[in-house]
Amino acid sequence: MVKVRIAPSPTGFLHVGTARTALYNFLFARNGGGKFILRIEDTDIERSSDEMVNVIIESLKWMGLHWDEGPYFQSERRDIYVEYADKLLQAGLVYPCYCTKEEIEERKRVTEKKKKKKGWKYDRRCLHLTREEKKQFERERASALRFRVERASSFEDFLHGKIERSKEDIEDFVIIKSDGMATYNFACVLDDHLMGITHVIRGEDHIPNTHKQILLYEAFGWMPPEFVHLPLILGPDRSKLSKRHGAVSVLEYRDRGFLPEAFVNFLALLGWSPGGDREIMSLDEIIGLFSLERVGKRGAVFDTKKLEWMNGEYIKKMSDGELLRRLSPFIENKPGIEEKGDEYILRVIALLKERMTLLSQFWELGSYFFIPPEQYDIESFTKYVKKGRAETRKERIEKVINAFKELKKFDRDMAENCVRGVAEGMGIKAALIIHPIRFALTGKTGGPGLFEIMEILGRDECIKRLEYFVENILPQLNIKN
């Protein structure tokens, strides 16, 4: 049975690269009826934190990637690692190393300077210590354990085929640090083996680690799992995606108003394709279609524009009720929301959803449905006026106000008839007053249909805003036409 894992280190938030790796593992497991486990690789005690563990868990849950086992914590498995390290020590495959980080760095610096090239590897100083020297160090220092690399490493990668590395290119790597904790490479191999992992699907940047891990599998006489090294996610300049390209943390995407469905759909397509030009797919559809054979070998560019487009498509497809639920964290503390109530918000949603690509845009686009405009986009409006598309005469707006006051009932058709009637009566094009009215009601020059906006705002609110505009804003505008 397929058993895969995602093994994030809680030294930072969940990066989109790790999120994609998690997704591919999840898809592979679900497609084949296998298991997906979560393992927290917190061997670097100083750099790991509970807060980041929570962020990782929250990110995976937000994406809907539910795991079948775990989370396992490597920090709780120390004894297991020590026990297995001891076996290698007994077999003479590892040796104690007393060098401090500073000593190693200094030797590396000096050698690289002398040879004028980078690429120093551990010089095996501690492998050649005399019994006396060892004894002396033993009294003074804590020791790490280093694995003795005596052979080349080679493995068959699912995507890349055979990958080899000569023994000269692999240093004697540490398996247990001087603080007694296992290193990533050692803990990873033990856990993958003991947890019965069948496929290790992870980023291509781990290939150098895999070479070391292969040597450990061989040392224990264990069958390694199948390795699948995914191509990296790239920024628009085709370098590895990083902070300087924009947001890289999953929760940042959530907070910016992306829907998890869209985010997951987008990530799935970063390196995999179901064939044809299908793009919008539910998680269940993706699970059904997913196969490692259709994962590409080349890095995929993270195209934020495409993600935004996709998000917009998901928003359009979503029911208004569901959208209301998803919008809640973005609007719950905004003024007017509570007073207006769900029914009112749903009417606004129906009007705005075609225009939104992010949940966070709801408030930007439609705050005027809840509170009078806080700001008026005078610059855009002035342009309209200068192009002769709007005019600013007070009397004309006042005519509309008076006409509204006469109305007993108010809906979009009545509002429209009324405004057009006023324009006709004055012998001008309706657009000339529609623009200033829109500007007065919303503070903006664009948006959904004016009469739909009016219907939602209601007659009295429209009158109030128009009166305020005529009294307070219009005199400040100072535009002639």
Instruction: Give how far the C-alpha of residue 61 lies from the chain's centroid of Cα atoms, to the nearest Å.
Output: 13
Q: Quote the least distance from Cβ 273 to ligand GLU, whole Å.
A: 23
Q: Is 97 annotated as a binding residue?
A: yes
Site membership for ligand GLU, residue 188 (CB under 6 A): yes
Site membership for ligand GLU, residue 7 (CB under 6 A): yes
Identify whether 134 is a catalytic site residue: no
Site membership for ligand GLU, residue 9 (CB under 6 A): yes
Please provide residue 145's backbone torsions phi and psi, each rounded to the nearest 5 degrees: -120, 130
Q: Is 243 annotated as a binding residue?
A: yes
Q: What is the 3-state secondary structure (H, E, C) of 461-481?
A: HHHHHHHHHHHHHHHHHCCCC
Q: What is the end-to-end Cα distance of the chain in Å, rounded?
A: 77
Q: How far apart are CA 53 and CA 38, in angstroms?
A: 11
The interface region with ligand GLU, picked from 6-14, 167-175, 252-260, 345-353 by CB under 6 A, is 6-14
Residue 199's identity, in one-letter code, is: H
What is the edge-to-edge ordering of all strands in the sheet holding 69-73?
3-6, 35-40, 69-73
- Two tokens at 218? 């061989």
From residue 200 to residue 229, the character string flagging contacts with ligand GLU as x (rule: CB under 6 A) and all else as - is --x---x-----------------------
Q: Is 99 annotated as a binding residue?
A: yes
- Smaller CB distance to ligand GLU: residue 202 or 353? 202
CA dihedral 350, 352, 357, 358 (to 10 degrees): -90
Q: How far apart are CA 357 and CA 148, in angstroms?
A: 55
Q: Is 128 annotated as a binding residue?
A: yes
The interface region with ligand GLU, picked from 2-10, 57-65, 266-274, 283-291 by CB under 6 A, is 2-10
Reported in sequence order, the residue ranges of 281-418 that DSSP labels E, i.e. its strands, are 300-301
Q: Quote the least distance from Cβ 82 to ligand GLU, whole Å.
A: 20
- Give me the catalytic one of 61, 167, 243, 429: 243
Q: Quote the least distance from Cβ 12 to ligand GLU, whole Å.
A: 9
Cβ–Cβ under 8 Å, residues 331 and 360: no
Q: How far apart are CA 145 and CA 175, in angstroms?
A: 6
Q: Quote the least distance from Cβ 83 to ligand GLU, whole Å.
A: 21
Residue 93's identity, in one-letter code, is: L
Q: Quote the least distance from Cβ 209 to ligand GLU, whole Å.
A: 7
Contacting ligand GLU (CB under 6 A), which of 41, 42, 261, 416? 41
Residues identified as active-site = 243
Residues in contact with ligand GLU by the rule CB under 6 A = 7-9, 41, 184, 188, 202, 206
